[in-house]
Amino acid sequence: MLDDELRIHLQGLEEELLHEDTRASREALLRLLDPDFLELGASGRTYDLEAIVSLLASGAPAARYAMEEFELLRLAPEVALVTYRLESRSEDGEFPRRTLRSSIWRSSGGAWRLRFHQGTLAP
């Protein structure tokens, strides 16, 4: 897959992970997340695969997201780093939270899965 195609593909997967239906589905999350998944959250907490699946399945409040400045850096043929800015807005329509995001995706068995994710609060 060419880098431009991969950037579009991984941006689609990142966007899929933001959808409420995906976040509520253990099956969908296990399809998208690597078995060795690790997240360093903007809150400062760390999450492994089971912790993040449980947290998302608990029904976190609904939010809408706007993704900007999506970039791809291929680290190896089967490993890619993506970075982007994310604004989350509550149901009242405001953008109360801005974060910088970075994700490492790994391809295995023909499928790209999220291996590592970090969110950092942005000014």
Tens of pLDDT, residue by residue over 28-40, are: 999 999 999 999 9
Q: What is the pLDDT of residues 14-30, one digit of tens each?
A: 999 999 889 889 999 99
User: How far is residue 88's CA from residue 22's CA, in Å, rounded to a whole number?
Assistant: 17
| Cα–Cα separations (whole angstroms), residue 120 to 20, 64, 99 | 21, 18, 5
Give the range of the structural domain holding residue 79, as residue numbers without chain letter. 3-121
- Domains held by the chain: number: 1
Domain holding 64: CATH number? Answer: 3.10.450.50
Question: From first to last of its 123 residues, what are the pLDDT tens digits of the chain?
Answer: 799 999 999 999 999 999 988 988 999 999 999 999 999 988 889 999 999 999 888 766 667 888 999 999 999 999 999 999 998 887 666 667 889 999 999 999 999 999 999 999 988
